[in-house]
Amino acid sequence: MLLKGAKLKISEIPEPTIMRLTVYARCLTDLVKQNVQVVSSEKLANEAGVNAAQVRKDLSYLGSFGRRGVGYETNHLLNKISICLGLTKERSIVIVGVGKLGSALLGYQGFLEKGFKMVAAFDTDKRRIGSSIGGIEVIDLERVDEIIKKKNVEIGIIAVPAEAAQKVADRLVVAGIKSILNFAPVVIKVPESILLRRVDLSSELEILSHYLNSSHKE
Amino acid sequence: MLLKGAKLKISEIPEPTIMRLTVYARCLTDLVKQNVQVVSSEKLANEAGVNAAQVRKDLSYLGSFGRRGVGYETNHLLNKISICLGLTKERSIVIVGVGKLGSALLGYQGFLEKGFKMVAAFDTDKRRIGSSIGGIEVIDLERVDEIIKKKNVEIGIIAVPAEAAQKVADRLVVAGIKSILNFAPVVIKVPESILLRRVDLSSELEILSHYLNSSHKE
């Protein structure tokens, strides 16, 4: 949620559409695996849990290539979305903080499938440094600049406690990171040139809570 | 992302505003802790990483109570937002799946602070059942109906592998859950009456990837 960064202006596609494109990509991947070659906007909408008009509108940002009365070629559409999402190129990621959440993220297989490559994990805890989690070595945070530059890392995931998050973000920025995904439950600040997204687990529950509350008022 | 469910229509506040309200609440909690009693929309905007006009627009959904040239009383505003987010009432949560991610979520302190109460964790793995994670007992999934009804659980978190997620969602729905937060990397389907939100870790990276890609084209 709440993507920030000056570079955004370059994209002409609204953020909610980008979000839905990631969902369509997931559905299309399943369909391709099942050897389904053509899909209608109705069927894709049903799979993605949105309505068909929304699907057509979202896909119109990628150019016109659905065939009226026939639908979209699954492989072709998946390819188009992958290009739009920049998934045709491998992107290197690092993670800072290998507590419970960080370790869980390190073990998450889904990243690899999508062309994201976890190149290193950092921590400041001497007991963790030198250990290996999910095949990734845990390195002293002191070496973050060196690794980010050497391995051309584009995305940094922050999974440290709230009170350490801003300091870690500052270090990542100095090291030359281009984008940050923040899991720490705190609002961090970065220069305008850095893309920043946060995943706030409490926020997700609070949003559900709001709607549960609204529905009780019925 | 991608909130679904018929009940949404009841809320007149747009979803992006709801998301930002959770951020303002986090900033205001910090300000209250620091004994700051009044905050301007500019200052709150800066803390939350949005612009001041956005803050004023978002807060206008809660009614008019900022004082021109003075600002908002932090405590009062936090209280208003908490009411809007339905956080004035304790809500019971269960989690299904206590692998790495599920265990990390169980240990997440932030939930408790916001009035969410983790009442049980479920798994099907006999080696996990009966153990305790973060003070929460891991219970056989077979007992999910009984616990959800007895403890009046409103929110179910799904943290099982993709292939098991739909089945778990179906069970939660039958058991009478009102809302689901899905962490499994798959699109699940639920009846219209159930609120559904998903946190897709790959999607978050894909969204960053899209913008990294766009900025490279500059």
What ipTM score was computed for the predicted complex, to two decimals?
A: 0.84
Q: Is B118:B95 a contact under the CB 8 Å cutoff?
A: yes
Q: Is residue A38 helix, strand or coil?
A: strand
Q: What is the mean pLDDT of chain A?
A: 87
Query: Which of A157, A205, A217 to mutate to test binding with chain B, by most B CBs within 10 Å of its CB?
Result: A205
Q: DSSP characters for B82-122?
A: HHHTTTTS-EEEEEE--SHHHHHHHT-THHHHTTEEEEEEE
Q: Is B81:B62 a contact under the CB 8 Å cutoff?
A: yes
Is the pLDDT reported for residue A96 higher than 90? Answer: yes
Question: pLDDT of B6-64, one tens digit each?
Answer: 445 556 888 889 989 999 998 998 899 999 999 999 999 988 888 899 999 999 998 86
Q: Determine the distance from the C-alpha atom of residue A137 to the mean position of all C-alpha atoms in its chain, rounded to a whole number.
A: 22
Q: Report the alpha-carbon distance of residue A51 to residue A55 in Å, rounded.
A: 7
pLDDT of residue B217: 47
Q: Is residue A44 helix, strand or coil?
A: helix
Q: Which residue blocks in A36-183 are alpha helix, DSSP H?
A: 41-48, 52-60, 74-84, 100-106, 110-113, 144-150, 162-175
In chain B, which residue's Cα lies nearest the Cα of A27? Answer: B187
Is the pTM higher than 0.80?
yes
Cβ neighbours of A215 in B, within 8 Å: 7, 10, 178, 195
Q: Report the alpha-carbon distance of residue A166 to residue B56 in Å, rounded.
A: 26
Residue B98 token pair: 């206590």
**Burial class, B61, CB count within 10 angstroms (exposed 0-12 / middle 13-18 / buried 19+):** middle
pLDDT of residue A6: 45
pLDDT of residue B215: 67
Is the pLDDT reported for residue A190 higher than 80? Answer: yes
For each of the domains in chain A, give its residue range(s) and CATH number, in order of start: 6-84 (1.10.10.10), 91-203 (3.40.50.720)
Cβ neighbours of B13 in A, within 8 Å: 210
Q: Report the alpha-carbon distance of residue A83 to residue A169 in Å, rounded.
A: 28
Structure confidence at residue A135 as a pLDDT band (50, 70, 90): confident
Per-residue burial over B156-168, b = 16 or more CB atoms within 10 Å of its CB, e = otherwise: bbbbbeeebbbeb
Kindly state whether A155 is in contact with chain B, defined as any CB-CB distance less than 8 angstroms: yes
Kindly state whether B2 is in contact with chain A, defined as any CB-CB distance less than 8 angstroms: yes
**Per 3-state DSSP, what percentage of chain A is helix, strand, and coil (rounded to 5)?**
45, 20, 35
Give backbone dihedrals phi and psi of B193, rounded to 5 degrees, phi first.
-80, -10
DSSP A83: H
Strand bridging mode A195-198 / A179-182: parallel
DSSP A37: -
Dihedral of the alpha carbons of A172, B106, B34, B67, in degrees to the nearest 10: 100
Query: Which of B87, B211, B217 to mutate to test binding with chain A, by most A CBs within 10 Å of its CB?
Result: B211
pLDDT of residue B212: 87
pLDDT of residue B6: 45
Residues 6 or more apart whose CB falls under 8 angstroms from that of B190 comprise B4, B5, B169, B173, B180, B196
pLDDT of residue A182: 94
pLDDT of residue B13: 86
Give backbone dihedrals phi and psi of B30, rounded to 5 degrees, phi first.
-65, -45
Which portions of chain B are predicted below pLDDT 50?
6-7, 217-218
- Closest CB from A105, A107, A211 relative to B195: A211
pLDDT of residue A180: 96
In chain B, which residue's Cα lies nearest the Cα of A185? Answer: B110
Q: Is B10:A217 a contact under the CB 8 Å cutoff?
A: yes
Q: Which of A169, A112, A118, A113 is nearest to A141 (CA)?
A: A169
Q: How many CA atoms lie within 13 A of B154 on its CB side?
A: 18
Question: pLDDT of A10-30, one tens digit each?
Answer: 568 888 899 899 999 989 998
Q: Which of B72, B68, B71, B90 is nearest to B81 (CA)?
A: B72
Give backbone dihedrals phi and psi of A185, rounded to 5 degrees, phi first.
-80, 65
Q: Report the alpha-carbon distance of residue B205 to residue A114 in Å, rounded.
A: 9
Query: Which of A18, A215, A216, A217 to mutate to test binding with chain B, by most B CBs within 10 Å of its CB?
Result: A215
Residues 6 or more apart whose CB falls under 8 angstroms from that of A22 comprise A85, B200, B202, B203, B206, B207
Q: Is residue A135 helix, strand or coil?
A: coil
pLDDT of residue B218: 39
Kindly state whether A218 is in contact with chain B, defined as any CB-CB distance less than 8 angstroms: yes
**Percent over 90 (pLDDT), chain A:** 53
pLDDT of residue A218: 39
